[in-house]
Structure 1
Amino acid sequence: FPRKSTAFDVLVLSQNYPESVCFSFRKSLPTKKCNLGINNAWGIHGLWPTELGTVNPQFCDKTQPFNATAISGLRDELLIKWLNVDGQKSEQKFWKHEWDKHGTCSTQLDELNTQEKYFQVTLDLTQQYSAAKILNQAKIYPGGEYSADDIYEKVSNLVGKKPVISCIKNK
């Protein structure tokens, strides 16, 4: 997006692998119910305005509360791509959390100044920067063993961006 004065430097598109998220949940609560979605495919965690080197802005505008009706036209796609891995909470609660915490901080950009735009742009960016496709192009396959440095270098070279990669060692 065109750069203009905002309270953040970059937007971070966060994607996750549901089985890994569930594994993390179950480390502290072994009976945790998880929603792994269709084929345990990569999912969206969120689009996060980020100020480099500091704590990210959060919960920026309480005058813009979450309104599920505003994204009703995206609901079917969101249910597939932006699911709540926490099987004890609804997707809508997760979307509300992401909007309240991160979306309200992105509204300084015209491209993200409504709930519908925030969720649609996040869906679009996920299509453009699909973790599954990028890893496949990098020849990084499920079940293989790769160093975090190798993954970082291959992904960075493919997308021309600096990824942040979180791994669960030996799992």
Structure 2
Amino acid sequence: MPRIASSCSTTGSASCSNSSAAGTCCLEAPGGLLLQTQFWDANPSTGPTDSWTVHGLWPDNCDGTFESNCDSSRAYTNLASLLSAQGASSTVSFMQTFWKDINGDDESFWEHEWSKHGTCLSTLKTSCLPSGSPRGAEAVAYFQTVVKLFQTVPTYDFLSSQGITPSSSKTFTLSQITSALKSASGFTPTVNCDGPNLNEVWWYFHVKGSVIDGSFVPINAPSFASNDCPSSGIKYLPKSGGGSGGGGGGGTTPPASGVPASFTVQALRSSGSTTGGLLSGGTWSTQTLATYKTAASGSGFTLTTSKGPCAVSSSTLTCASGNSASVFTAVSSGGKTLLAFNGSTTFSSDAVPSGTTQQKVFVGSGHSQTYQLVVAS
């Protein structure tokens, strides 16, 4: 079932363009400054080891103030069932992996975020919904939009691409972190710390049209926002793995026999040397490897990363939110477990990656550099 749609144009004025404008079904106000907020929880470890997790989507007023808990009559509960009943089970599965409560009560966390922040969005009032929309349809749209926005700002990948990865011993300056995020994304967010530990990022947007299906415009952190981190000595601690509460691996079906529930993927070249491996988008790189999660599918399994399901299309491997997952298999060879697609364990690229360079991964030996992909738990 497709999600509901608005009848709003996405080519008009963006939210916050007129501070005196009243909220309508097609103009988000007064909370037109939208914050997509993310957590990095290392102690206790929560969520995937190679991804930040969702905190929420907050409609802040354009002057640094905000409203909260705007409609108690729509403080829906049992949101996982509500979303699944309205055709958003894939959103629930994503949330179960990437929208985690530090105490393990994901459902209560989602309910809190919707009740406190979602009910304050003017474009999600029930009067703005298409005729005949089921109860709670605006909450379904809210969670779908939050997931969509979260996937556009992969903070872990942004930092990793600039050489900043979790470490038990290294420290970073505030300038290093904000500059890295600016270089990778084109925009400067707000970063927050718990003492010396990096633990939250806020990304800012305006929206043209409705939050349901509007055009989100990323912007720099506004002048009244401030970073809550020390200027130096910031720790970006590694997670110990897994996630807490709410369903072991995002509520997916069990992985195929002989393959771990999650693993990294190394590239084994024909020379016998291992050179890097796969990042979360499905590319070959020498940077910090991504975590791949498995789910059984027939005689094989599907793969998912923080970017989304992994698929092979036109012989090219990608992992992205819009993919329809392909089915892979595993082959034991020389004491190693190799990934295979349509029976082939050979993959290739146009060049060997180095530094921050990434190479597309193709199935088969049609490109100059051939290798095999090794499951490394």
More helix as a share of residues: 1
Q: Say which structure, 1 or 2, has more relative contact order (CA 8 Å, 6+ apart).
A: 1
TM-score by length of 2: 0.38
Cα 1:10–1:81 shift into 2, 3 Å: same
Q: How does 1:9-158 map to 2 (within 5 A)?
A: 9-19=32-42, 22=43, 34=44, 36-39=46-49, 41-67=51-77, 68=79, 69-72=81-84, 73=89, 74-87=91-104, 90-108=105-123, 114-143=138-167, 144-158=170-184
Q: SS where residue 165 of structure 1 aligns?
A: strand
Q: SS where residue 63 of structure 1 aligns?
A: helix
**Deviation per residue, 1:48-67 (Å, 9 max, x gap):** 11124333221122232224
Q: C-alpha separation between the residues in 1 aligned to 2:172 and 2:45?
A: 27
RMSD: 2.5
Q: SS where residue 59 of structure 2 aligns?
A: strand
Computing the radius of gyration over CA atoms, which structure comes out larger, 1 or 2? Answer: 2
Structure 2, unaligned runs of 5 or more: 1-9, 15-26, 130-136, 197-232, 236-377
Kept after mapping to 1: 8 A contact 2:33/2:59: yes
Structure 1, unaligned runs of 5 or more: 23-33
How far the C-alpha of 1:163 sits from its partner, in A, is 0.4
Kept after mapping to 1: 8 A contact 2:35/2:60: yes
How far the C-alpha of 1:127 sits from its partner, in A, is 1.2
TM-score by length of 1: 0.77
More strand as a share of residues: 2
Identity %: 25
- Paired positions, count: 155
Kept after mapping to 2: 8 A contact 1:62/1:100: yes
**Deviation per residue, 1:53-86 (Å, 9 max, x gap):** 3332211222322242332223221110101112
How far the C-alpha of 1:101 sits from its partner, in A, is 0.5
